[in-house]
Amino acid sequence: MIIGLVGAPNKGKSTIFSAMTQQEVPIADYAFTTINPNLGVAYVARKCVETELGVKCKPRTAMCRNGTRYMPVNVIDVAGLVPGAHLGKGMGNQFLNDLVSADALVQVVDISGTTDVNGLSAEGSDPAVDVEMVRKELAQWLAGIILRHMADLSRRQDGSAALHELLSGFKATVREIEDAGNKSYLPMSNINWTAQEAVKFSEALLRTNKPMVVAANKMDRGSAEALDALRKRLAGTEVIECSGAIELALVKAAKSGVIEYDRYSNEIKVNASASAEQAKAIAYMEGYVKRHAGTGVQRLLDTAVFGLLGNIVVYPVEDETHYTDHFGNVLPDALLMRSGSTAYDLAEKIHSELAKRMKYAVDVKRKMRVQKEYVLKDGDVIKIVSTAK
């Protein structure tokens, strides 16, 4: 799973990326600080099933702390997008190609209104314009791909299958393509769309294939009025106020031992080693965290993973009595699965060979055999039973 950070230049994408992943990247107050995409890993958290089962888990990856299980999520921060990016302006082509594999997008805007759509210093800029620009550029880019292959598409009777082949790297499913066609009222056989129709289809496909949450960044310098106005303009889109700068400062303070900080519970504890100046800065940041119920950075990730993508957490095991793998690790993996996934989908995620040889599954909590088509539930503990090699 990949979450893409997108937006116009100089909106704070790289600051949020660094805060999310605790990975050092170039950060500066000018456009195109990011040239090559930054790749990192962040974590989402959920209550571990160990507490329900009365055991202590031993994760193979990530960790479990005080009954909370942490699961890794890949994050990509790409070069800033400017108007005309789909034509190659700015870092446009690179930006758009880097986004192909993303499952959901977090668009970062400047809620303080101090940078314009090109990332230049300005006063009173409207962040809603940034959102509209990014959506337009994405749709134009995707439409351009479709239009370049229109001659081939027009010869195919099954347009959905043809588009699925064309957009294979885009992670677009046949169902998403068909739904986008239906919502756009466009013919899906021997496709011969106009440029306008291709854009209309692309806009519909992007809404489901690349769902987006908006990060109203720099809220420490923004106003409640600006946030309310943005939410009204973007009705139907989740807008989360955040401060990447405060989150990153807290992360760095925790690394240096000045504070203890848990972004999942928003708890901040100042250590005795903090100087008077540090304590004053931390008090300011703690006040922000209390007023806004966090910096918003973790909420962005949680919203993308569990809200937009509708993921659930499933625990595969090999021994249904002891909840272990063949090495004896208790609840070794906590896998993020799309809502609606089946036991077969879980087997396929573990290993394609396991899916091919799968006979049935066991719902470990209920001690019940279930079929391949069993729809997984959040917190399920599942054993896959397969034929011998």
Question: What digits encode the pLDDT tens for the residues 67-80?
Answer: 999 999 999 998 77
Reported CATH class of domain 2-37+78-233: mainly alpha
* CATH class in words for 311-386: alpha beta
Instruction: For residues 139 and 155, give the distance between their C-alpha atoms in angstroms, rounded to a whole number.
Output: 24
pLDDT at 243 over 80: yes
Segment among 71-75, 122-126, 294-298 with least mean pLDDT: 122-126
Residues of the chain with CATH 3.10.20.30: 311-386
Name residue 358's beta-bridge partners.
Answer: 386
Q: How far is CA 279 from the centre of its chain?
A: 34
Lowest mean pLDDT among 93-97, 324-328, 362-366: 93-97
* pLDDT band at residue 114 using 50, 70 and 90 as cut-offs: very high
Q: How far apart, in whole angstroms, are the C-alpha atoms of residue 312 and residue 33? A: 35
Residue ranges of the chain that CATH labels 1.10.8.470: 2-37+78-233
Core vs surface per residue 89-104: b (16+ CB within 10 A) or e:
ebbbebbbebbbebbb
Per-chain mean pLDDT for the chain? 91
The model's confidence at residue 169, banded by pLDDT at 50, 70 and 90, is confident
**Of 36-40, 171-175, 210-214, where does the model show the most confidence?**
210-214
Return d(Cα 54, Cα 56) in angstroms, integer: 7
First-to-final CA distance of the chain: 29
State the average pLDDT over residues 343-372.
Answer: 95
In single-letter form, the type of residue at position 103 comes to: D
What is the arithmetic mean of pLDDT over 243-250? 96
